[in-house]
A and B are shown apart, each in its own frame.
Chain A
Amino acid sequence: MWWVTDDAAESVTDDAVDADSAGDAVDAGSETRPTVVVPVEPSPTLRATVAHVVEAATDGEFSALHFVEIASWRDGDPGSDDRTAEAQRVLERVVAWAEADLDDADGDAGDDVAVVSALIGADEYLFGPDDYVDVLAEYAEEHDADTVLLDPEYTPVGNTTLLQPLEFALSNTSLTVRTAPVGRPTRPERLRSEATGVRFAAMFGLSLAFYFVLGDPLYWFDWVTGVATAAIVSITLSRISLDADPAVPRTPMRLVRGAIYVPVLLYEILVANLVVARVILDPRLPIEPSMNRMRVIVGSGLPLMTLANSITLTPGTLTVRARDSDLYVHSLLPWAREGLFDGGLERWTRFVYYGRSAARLPTPRERGDHAVLQGPDATEELPIAAADGGETDVEDAEATDTAGGAEEEVTDA
């Protein structure tokens, strides 16, 4: 689940435990100093956050500082080793900063403060803030920490700004949450200039190429309007449309594998269309619609969107809700549902984004990551039938009441 960055840190963990037990021993008179967990990622305010938490510790607030990096990838993905190494470098830097700050602290205030770092959550994909909080809470419990200190610029979920914020999800746990009172630089500084450059160039090139497909690349007027249009598009959308830099071996490979996927998808669409057309046109063939849930193993963002849209494009299955890694899929026929649980599209999506070896995985049925929420084969309750079903009744009742009231008024009038 988690590991400590190095042996030195390991021994510090032991120190921390010792310090804790020592604290317990003198608990009778003095206050116990809690352990704090600080989730970190490279952000402009990371340095200031570390300084703040160390200052709080030397003031006697905390006895152990746990810096954790929550992995947004999953071990075994192509490139996960690089990202693990990168995360380790960040953690090493944070620990170095913290120890330097502790050394600088007045007197021996910082001597009994333990500094620990860990990389957690790399054994599964994490989607929304809820997943991050689960991992964080589990780590905190393991290490008897009761406080979480957040870097104000900490955004592990990437650019999925529509999700409920991490702070809110954290407020549902027993952990005390604090945000480091450090300066928040203006927004543009958040993006590393190098990264923006690559994305901007990619977006600009793509927009301009598309413009020339529609226009005439040999006509100077189209060049002027094309460059202006591409500039507007890339200024406004390069940060939204691309959440990772295009990289040389990866992006072209994905495009090539995507090109292989398109005919496969077209064939699937054709077959499914014929099956569904038959059921629609023949009144003797009944439909058996049901809502289903399937937990899919693809990364969040583009891969999830590709999978959800492929499912919707195939007649007979319709993605209704994507909740973290759970897809709620409505199926028209048992045939379509079985096909869904066989996970063909999931494997193809993994093939497109992660390559051939990543596509070999058990089907959702074999993994047990599937559930039928309705009908005779239902294995799980429909989330809205339980929660909102009651509400609907209430609304219906209210509606009838108002209607009745209105009628009465009319009669009275």
Chain B
Amino acid sequence: MDAAGTLGTLRVGLIVVFTLLGLFFSFVSMTGVLRLPDVYSRAHTASQADTLGAGFGLAAVALAVGWEGAGFKTVLLLFFIFVTNPTAAHAIARAAFEEGIVPWTEGDDRR
């Protein structure tokens, strides 16, 4: 009873921690998109939301719904995010590069 209770508390605690971490990295990502100067640097930080933001979020979901069924699907979901996210970021950056957009460097006045 006691052990189960401690485990339950630990699980709820971990769910809260993971959710907060997910929120934190999503917040960082949002700040980055607003603060950073050009399409390339924004692509860096936009993909951050997907890796750790969604990563911790889905980890919290997996813990909440348990290992059977939905929990396993959550892990699969995470896997697909990890495969598609860099591909999408690369596609955006490559399109920008082929359009001839010169990456922002220090001292550049476009901002």
User: Smallest distance from the beta carbon of A383 to chain B beta carbons, Å?
Assistant: 9
Known pairs A214-B73, A319-B86, A392-B102 / 16 extra A-B pairs, C-beta < 8 Å: A269-B52, A289-B38, A291-B40, A309-B90, A312-B90, A313-B47, A313-B51, A313-B86, A320-B96, A320-B97, A328-B97, A330-B40, A330-B41, A374-B103, A375-B105, A384-B101
Asked if A406 is an interface residue, CB under 8 A from chain B, the answer is no
Interface string of A303-335 (1 = CB under 8 A from B): 000001111110111111100000010101000
Residues of B in contact with A, size category:
35 or more
Contacts of A277 in B (CB 8 A): 24-25, 28, 48
Please report the C-alpha to C-alpha distance between residue A319 and residue B28 in the assembled complex, in whole angstroms. Answer: 21
Contacts of B24 in A (CB 8 A): 277
User: Smallest distance from the beta carbon of B107 to chain A beta carbons, Å?
Assistant: 9
Chain A contact residues, CB within 8 Å of chain B: 213-214, 269-270, 273, 276-277, 280-281, 286-291, 308-313, 315-321, 328, 330, 332, 374-376, 382, 384-385, 388-389, 391-392
Q: List 6 A-B contacts (CB under 8 A).
A: A276-B32, A315-B44, A315-B47, A316-B44, A320-B96, A385-B102
Chain B contact residues, CB within 8 Å of chain A: 24-25, 28, 31-32, 35-38, 40-41, 43-45, 47-48, 51-52, 72-73, 76, 82-83, 85-87, 89-90, 93-94, 96-98, 100-106
Asked if B102 and A384 sit within 8 Å, CB to CB, the answer is yes
Please report the C-alpha to C-alpha distance between residue A277 and residue B22 in the assembled complex, in whole angstroms. Answer: 13
Contacts of A280 in B (CB 8 A): 28, 31-32, 35-36, 45
User: Smallest distance from the beta carbon of B96 to chain A beta carbons, Å?
Assistant: 8
Say which residue of B32, B36, B37, B83 sits within 8 Å of A309 (CB atoms).
B83
Say which residue of B44, B76, B82, B102 sits within 8 Å of A332 (CB atoms).
B44
Asked if B106 and A286 sit within 8 Å, CB to CB, the answer is yes
Please report the C-alpha to C-alpha distance between residue A313 and residue B40 in the assembled complex, in whole angstroms. Answer: 14
User: Smallest distance from the beta carbon of A364 to chain B beta carbons, Å?
Assistant: 19
Please report the C-alpha to C-alpha distance between residue A315 and residue B73 in the assembled complex, in whole angstroms. Answer: 26
Please report the C-alpha to C-alpha distance between residue A413 and residue B104 in the assembled complex, in whole angstroms. Answer: 41
User: Smallest distance from the beta carbon of A404 to chain B beta carbons, Å?
Assistant: 22
Say which residue of A214, A290, A317, A391 sits within 8 Å of B103 (CB atoms).
A290
Say which residue of B82, B89, B103 sits within 8 Å of A291 (CB atoms).
B103
Asked if A318 and B90 sit within 8 Å, CB to CB, the answer is yes
Asked if B48 and A273 sit within 8 Å, CB to CB, the answer is yes
Q: Which residue of A lies closest to B50 (CB)?
A: A313
* A273-B52, A308-B90 known; A315 vs B45 contact (CB < 8 Å): yes
Asked if A270 and B52 sit within 8 Å, CB to CB, the answer is yes
Contacts of A388 in B (CB 8 A): 100
User: Count the A-B residue pairs with Cβ separation under 8 angstroms: how many?
Assistant: 115
Contacts of A270 in B (CB 8 A): 52
Asked if B100 and A321 sit within 8 Å, CB to CB, the answer is no
Please report the C-alpha to C-alpha distance between residue A374 and residue B25 in the assembled complex, in whole angstroms. Answer: 29
Q: Which residue of B lies closest to A315 (CB)?
A: B48
Asked if A382 and B102 sit within 8 Å, CB to CB, the answer is yes
Say which residue of A316, A374, A384 sits within 8 Å of B105 (CB atoms).
A374
Please report the C-alpha to C-alpha distance between residue A392 and residue B105 in the assembled complex, in whole angstroms. Answer: 17
Asked if B31 and A319 sit within 8 Å, CB to CB, the answer is no
Say which residue of A312, A321, A391, A392 sits within 8 Å of B89 (CB atoms).
A312
Asked if A287 and B100 sit within 8 Å, CB to CB, the answer is no
Contacts of A392 in B (CB 8 A): 100, 102
Contacts of B90 in A (CB 8 A): 308-309, 312, 318-320
Asked if A318 and B40 sit within 8 Å, CB to CB, the answer is yes
Asked if A289 and B100 sit within 8 Å, CB to CB, the answer is no
User: Smallest distance from the beta carbon of A382 to chain B beta carbons, Å?
Assistant: 7
Asked if A318 and B89 sit within 8 Å, CB to CB, the answer is yes
Please report the C-alpha to C-alpha distance between residue A26 and residue B3 in the assembled complex, in whole angstroms. Answer: 100
Please report the C-alpha to C-alpha distance between residue A214 and residue B69 in the assembled complex, in whole angstroms. Answer: 8
Q: Which residue of A lies closest to B39 (CB)?
A: A330
Q: Which residue of A lies closest to B48 (CB)?
A: A315
Say which residue of B35, B100, B105 sits within 8 Å of A391 (CB atoms).
B100
The 7 closest A-B pairs by CB, nearest first: A388-B100, A312-B86, A309-B86, A277-B28, A280-B32, A320-B93, A330-B40
